[in-house]
């Protein structure tokens, strides 16, 4: 059974997730730690729960979701895993971070990329990949089928959707991704987004002004 811990980090108020199960194995998704206090908060949680990080996953590679990639690599020797179509998005961060006044420690690049569909495992658990481009060119979401929750990144928010005015963004593609992929999940599926509070598929079908 997968348990979930949410942290909200960095000036962009990005949600970082740690998923773990009874084996003690865990995955870190979209590490956004920006300063020492945030880094310490993540480490303290992992240590106090005797967790062993096995994978570092990025839904996509905008700066606010990768600020902690280097820290995770330095501490647990994990390189990020994401879809290959996000690589140029990651490589661009070093160029624009200073213009945004952000300190950025260069993220390592993946040894292996994630496919558009399939399953990834950690400990005794598995996550299904859902390809949902539009906010970024090759955005992935991670669905825990048994527990019925989605780590949604910046695709679907509470009564909102991801912005599409950044490089690689495409508004119509995002709408299509949500309606044809994300909305195929059960209505009671809980969605944990990259920013803001959790929501459910059913609620957003009924109440999201971008999707009605």
Residue whose entry in the numeric block shows the structure tokens 């992929």? 181
What's the pLDDT at 33?
98
CA 113 to each of CA 15, 81, 117, 136, 211: distance values in angstroms, whole numbers, following the listed order: 22, 6, 12, 16, 31
Domain boundaries, given as residue ranges, for the chain: 3-207
**pLDDT tens figures, 87-136:** 999 999 999 999 999 999 999 999 999 999 999 999 999 999 999 999 99
Name the CATH code of domain 3-207 (choices 3.40.50.740, 3.60.15.10, 3.40.50.300, 3.40.630.30).
3.60.15.10
- Check the CA dihedral 1-82-129-34 and report its sign: positive
Query: Binning pLDDT at 50, 70 and 90, where does residue 212 land?
Result: confident
Contacts (Cβ under 8 Å, ≥6 apart) of 38 = 7, 9, 10, 32, 68
* pTM (two decimals): 0.98
**pLDDT tens figures, 34-46:** 999 999 999 999 9
Q: Are 154 and 136 in contact (CB under 8 A)?
A: yes
């Amino acid at each position: 059974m997968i348990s979930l811990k949410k942290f909200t980090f960095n000036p962009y108020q990005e949600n970082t997730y740690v998923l773990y199960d009874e084996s003690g194995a865990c995955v870190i998704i979209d590490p956004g730690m920006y300063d020492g206090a945030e880094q310490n908060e993540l480490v303290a949680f992992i240590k106090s729960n005797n967790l062993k990080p096995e994978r570092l996953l990025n839904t996509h590679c905008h700066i606010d979701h990768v600020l902690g990639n280097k820290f995770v690599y330095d501490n647990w020797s994990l390189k990020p895993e994401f879809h290959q179509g996000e690589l140029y998005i990651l490589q661009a961060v070093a160029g624009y971070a200073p213009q945004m006044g952000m300190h950025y420690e260069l993220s390592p690049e993946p040894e292996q990329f994630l496919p558009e569909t399939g399953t990834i495992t950690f400990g005794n658990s598995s996550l299904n990949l859902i390809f949902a481009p539009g906010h970024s060119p090759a955005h992935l979401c991670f669905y825990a089928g048994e527990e019925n929750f989605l780590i949604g990144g910046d695709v679907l928010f509470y009564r909102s959707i991801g912005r599409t005015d950044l490089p690689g963004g495409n508004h119509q593609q995002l709408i299509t991704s949500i309606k044809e992929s994300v909305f195929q999940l059960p209505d009671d599926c809980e969605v944990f987004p990259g920013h803001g509070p959790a929501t459910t598929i059913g609620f957003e079908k009924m109440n999201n002004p971008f999707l009605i």
